[in-house]
Structure 1
Amino acid sequence: MSLATFRARIPAINSWLLAGVCASIPLTVAPAYWLTAVMLLLWLAEGRFVAKFRALADEPLVWICLAYYGVFVASLFWSDDLEWGRRMLGRQNFFLLAPLYFSVARREHVGRYISAFLASVAFCEALALYNWAQMHVWPGLPDGIRVDKGADDTAPFVDRILYAPALALAGYLAGHRLLFDTSGTKMRLVYAGLLATTAFNLVISGGRAGLVGFLALLTLLAFQRFARRPVLAAAVSALLVGGIVIGGYAGNDYFRMRADRVVNELEHYEELPKASVSQRLIYWQNALRIFRDAPLAGVGIGDYPEVYRAVNERYTPAWAPAWNPHNHYLYVLTSTGLLGGVLLVALLGVPLLRRGHDDSRRRMRRALPLLFMVICLFESYLMRSNTSLMYVVFLALLWSPARESRA
C-alpha cells in the first residue's frame, strides 16, 4: 500500500476510532484517551491542514469549546494552588480535543457512532441487571462485575453519578430511533426494549440527577413526536414521567428509599450535616458567598477548596468542607467569574438555540444540551471525565458538516 493510499484511508480509520470513543463513554474513560491519541497521530499523518483548519475555523462551537477551556487555563494565573488547579484542568481536557473530534466526525457515519454508544450502554445494562438480580432476587448467584463505590450501586464500571447521565442520553437516542429512524417491526421492538430497559436501569441505579435528566428528555421526545399537537404531547409526557416515577416508587425499595430521603433532607437539612441533599444545599449557599466576594474573575480553578474551607468554617462549621459545589454553574462562576459563566451559557445555549440543517440530527441536537442543562444543576458534570467526553463527542458528531465519504 502506497503512502498516498494510506493517507486517503485515514478519515475512514479515524471514523471507526471515534465510534470506539463513543463506546467507551459508559465504561472506564481510559480507552478513550488511547483511541484519541491514535486518532490524533493519524490526523497529523493525513495532512491537508489548510482545509482542516479552514473547516474548523468556520464552526463556532469549536471556538466556544476552546474559549471555555481557555478561561480555566487563564484562572491558573490567579490560583495559588497550581497542583490542584492542573488536576482539575485535566478533568476537562476533552474540551481541548474538541477540534480533533469535530474534524474527524462524519455526518454520514452518525448512525455508526450512536450504535456504538447504544451497544456499549446495552452491554452495561445487561451487567447491571445481573447485579441487581444477584443483590435482590437470587443472592446465591456468583458476584458480577460491579463498580466498587457504593453498596447499592448496580453499575458495572462507573458509579451512579457518571452511569445515570449516559443511560439518560441512551434512553433518548433509543426512543428517537424507535419513533423517527426505524420502520421495521423487529428493529422497533429492539429499540422499544432498549428504552424500557434503560428506564428500569435508571430506576434501580440510584442516580437521581440522571433520572431527572432522562425525564426531561422523555418530555422533549414526546413534544418532538407530537410537535403539532402540544396538548397531546403534554398528556403523553405526563403519563410517561408519572408512570416511571410512580412505578419506581411503588415497585423498587431502593428508589423509594432514595426518594423519601430527598424529601426528608429537604425538610430537615439544617439538622442533617452528613446527608447528601442537605450537604448540597450548604455547598450552594457557600458557593454563592464565594461568588459574591469574587464575581469578576472568581477565585481560580486551583483555590476553590481552600477558599471554600474558610467560608465553610465561618458560616457552616458543622458541615464538612467540599472540593466542588456539586453544581456546575456555581463551579464555573466561583472558579472563573462572570466570563466563565458567559462561556458556559454559550456552551450549552448555542447548540440548543442554534438553527442547524434540517436533517435527521436536528431533534437530537436539542436533547444533548437540554440533558446537561438539567444535570449540571446537581453536579459539576462538565468537569467529570466520562460526562465531559460525552458532551464534547456528541456535540461534534451532531454538528459535523457533510463530507465526501472515503470509506
Structure 2
Amino acid sequence: MNFQPISSANEKSKIYVAAMVMLVVAYFAFPVAMGLAYAAMVFAFLLGLASWKIIRPNSELLKSPLVLASVGLYILIAIGWLYSSASWDDAKLHFSKYAKLILIPVFFLLLQNFRWRKSCVAAFMGSMAFILLSVYANVFWQLPWSKTQNLGWGQDHTVIGDYITQNIMMAFFTVLVLEKAVSVQSRGYQLFLGAVALAAVVAVTQLSNGRTGYVLLLVVLGMYALMWARGAKQWLAIGAIACALAASLATSDKVHQRLEQAISEARNSDAMEITSIGGRINFWKNTLEMTLEKPITGWGTGEYHAQWCVHVTKEGWCEFGRWHPHNQYLFFWMEHGILGLALFIVLVLSPIWMTRQMPASPRRMAWCFSALFAVNSLINAPLWSSRESHFFVLMLCLVCAGISFQREQDKDMLQRA
C-alpha cells in the first residue's frame, strides 16, 4: 500500500486533535493516576472512532500481527464464554480486564502521526521522571503521594501502585533514556542522560523490593546491549553499563536478601507454603496440570478461578491462587486452548515481526520491549493486572505504530524516487 499521511486540514480537525490530546493524557497518566488514564483511554477510543474518516486511509495496516492477535484474542474470549461453566461474575471480569485489547486497532491508527507519537513518548517519560525523582526524594522526606513512607537508603520506595509494575516501567524507561542518549549529538546531554539511566537502574536495584525488577532490568539491558553492539567503542560502553549494573546489584543488601529468600522459597515449594516464589512454582505446576486436561480447546472463559479451587484443595490456597496463575501464557492456554496461547505469543512478538528490514533504532526498541513482555509474562499476568496492562497495551501500540508507519513512509519514498 502507499502510505497516506494525514492532511494538514485533517490534522486540525477538532475531533482528531481531541482524540490525540486524550491519548497523550493517557500516556502521561497511567503510571501515576489510573482513574484519569482509564477516562482518557475511553475518550481517545471514542473520539478516534468519531474521526475514522481521517485515520482510515491507512486501515490496510490493520492486517498487522498486532491487530490480528489482539482482536483475535478478544474474539476467542467471547467464544470461550459459550462453552464455559464459569459464573457470570468470573466471565464478566475477563471481558473487562481484557477490554483494552479492542482499543488497540484505533490507537494504532491514531498514532500514525510522528509528532503525536513523540508527544506520547514524552508524556510517558515525563511521568516516569516524576516517579524517579519521587523515589529519591522519598529517601529523605515523607512524600504525601508516595505509597511507601520509608525514609533512608536501601528501603522500598514504591511511589505509586506496586513495586512490580513500577520496576517494569522503570526498566523500559531506562532503555528509552539510553536510546535517547545514543541519538543526541551534545556530549553534555549524553552524560546527563547516562546519569538519569544510572539513577533508574539504582532505583530498581537499591530502592525496591522487587525481584521481578532485577530480572527484567537484566533482560532489557542485556537485549539492548546485544542489539546495539557494533565495534570496539560500543562494546566498551556495554561493558561499562554491565559493570555499573553488576556493582549496583553486588552492593545491595536488599538484593542479596531477596535472592536468598527466593532460593529458599523455591527449594521448599513442595511444602505448599504460601510464599512469593514457592507460590508461583505451585501456580505454574497446578495450572499446567489443569491445562493438559483440555490442551486444545481450553476450559473456557473464567474457568480458571473455579477450577483452581477444585484442583488445589490445600488449606488457604483457594483464595491465594484463584485470582490468576502468575503466568500469562498458561492463563490463556488453560482457558482458551492452544489457539489462545498461539495468539498471545504472536501479540508478544509482533513488534519484532514488524521491525524486519528497519533501521537499528526501531529494532532495538522492538526487541527490548518484546523481551520485557515475554519474560514478564512468564512470572506475571500482565494483561490481567490493571496498571501492567495499561503499560503493555499502550506501549505495544506506540512501538508498533512507530515501526509500521515509518516503514510505510520509507516504502512510499522509494516508490516515488
TM-score interval, smaller chain: 0.7 to 0.9
Unaligned segments of structure 1, at least 5 residues: 135-140
2:330 match: 330
Unaligned segments of structure 2, at least 5 residues: 1-8, 410-417
Hey, which bits of structure 1, 4+ residues long, moved more than 4 A?
4-7, 148-153, 235-239, 316-321
Instruction: Tell me the C-alpha RMSD between the 2 structures.
Output: 2.9
Match of 1:207 among 207, 210, 215: 210
Aligned partner letter, 2:145: I
1:95 match: 101
2:147 match: 147
In structure 2, distance between residues paired with 1:32 and 1:71? 26
Note the 1:268-307 alignment, pairs <5 A.
Answer: 268-271=268-271, 273-307=273-307
**2:124 equivalent to 1:123:** no
Conserved? CA contact 1:107–1:397, under 8 Å: no
CA gap of 1:93–1:105, structure 2 versus 1, over 3 A, is same
In structure 2, distance between residues paired with 1:82 and 1:149? 39
Of 370-379 and 389-398, more deviation after overlay is shown by 389-398
**2:78 equivalent to 1:73:** yes
**2:184 equivalent to 1:196:** no
Aligned partner letter, 1:322: G
CA gap of 1:236–1:78, structure 2 versus 1, over 3 A, is farther
Match of 2:112 among 103, 106, 112: 106
In structure 1, distance between residues paired with 2:118 and 2:59? 26
2:20 match: 15
**2:34 equivalent to 1:32:** no
In structure 2, distance between residues paired with 1:276 and 1:191? 35
Q: Which has the higher contact order (CA 8 A, sep 6+)?
A: 1
Aligned partner letter, 1:158: G
CA gap of 1:13–1:272, structure 2 versus 1, over 3 A, is same
2:168 match: 165
Note the 1:230-241 alignment, pairs <5 A.
Answer: 233=235, 240-241=241-242
1:340 match: 340
In structure 2, distance between residues paired with 1:245 and 1:104? 41
In structure 1, distance between residues paired with 2:375 and 2:36? 28
In structure 2, distance between residues paired with 1:96 and 1:297? 22
* Percentage of matched positions with identical amino acids: 20
* TM-score, normalization by structure 2: 0.83
Aligned partner letter, 1:51: R
- Return the offset for 1:399: 2.5
Conserved? CA contact 1:295–1:338, under 8 Å: yes
Conserved? CA contact 1:146–1:153, under 8 Å: no
In structure 1, distance between residues paired with 2:191 and 2:163? 27
The DSSP-based 3-state class of the residue aligned with 1:294 is coil
Conserved? CA contact 2:143–2:149, under 8 Å: no
CA gap of 1:107–1:208, structure 2 versus 1, over 3 A, is farther
1:390 match: 391
Conserved? CA contact 1:52–1:103, under 8 Å: no
Count of matched residue positions in the alignment of Structure 1 and Structure 2: 388
CA gap of 1:306–1:106, structure 2 versus 1, over 3 A, is same
- Return the offset for 1:53: 7.2
Conserved? CA contact 2:229–2:238, under 8 Å: no
In structure 2, distance between residues paired with 1:379 and 1:340? 17
**C-alpha offsets along residues 149-193 of structure 1, whole Å, 9 cap, x if unaligned?**
9996422221012211111111111111112x2111332133212
Aligned partner letter, 1:24: A
CA gap of 1:337–1:328, structure 2 versus 1, over 3 A, is same
1:59 match: 64
Conserved? CA contact 1:153–1:159, under 8 Å: no
Conserved? CA contact 2:49–2:106, under 8 Å: no
**C-alpha offsets along residues 319-358 of structure 1, whole Å, 9 cap, x if unaligned?**
5541211111111111111110110111112322344463
Aligned partner letter, 1:385: S
- Return the offset for 1:270: 2.7
Match of 2:221 among 215, 218, 221: 218
The DSSP-based 3-state class of the residue aligned with 1:175 is helix
Conserved? CA contact 1:220–1:367, under 8 Å: yes
The DSSP-based 3-state class of the residue aligned with 1:342 is helix
1:137 match: none
In structure 2, distance between residues paired with 1:149 and 1:298? 44
Conserved? CA contact 1:7–1:45, under 8 Å: no
In structure 2, distance between residues paired with 1:89 and 1:395? 20
Conserved? CA contact 2:366–2:399, under 8 Å: yes
Aligned partner letter, 2:39: W
Aligned partner letter, 1:218: L
Conserved? CA contact 2:164–2:213, under 8 Å: yes
- Return the offset for 1:221: 1.6
CA gap of 1:194–1:297, structure 2 versus 1, over 3 A, is same
Aligned partner letter, 1:64: A
**C-alpha offsets along residues 127-157 of structure 1, whole Å, 9 cap, x if unaligned?**
12222x14xxxxxx44542226999642222
In structure 1, distance between residues paired with 2:338 and 2:347? 14
Note the 1:354-369 alignment, pairs <5 A.
Answer: 354-356=354-356, 358-359=358-359, 360-369=361-370
Conserved? CA contact 1:326–1:378, under 8 Å: yes
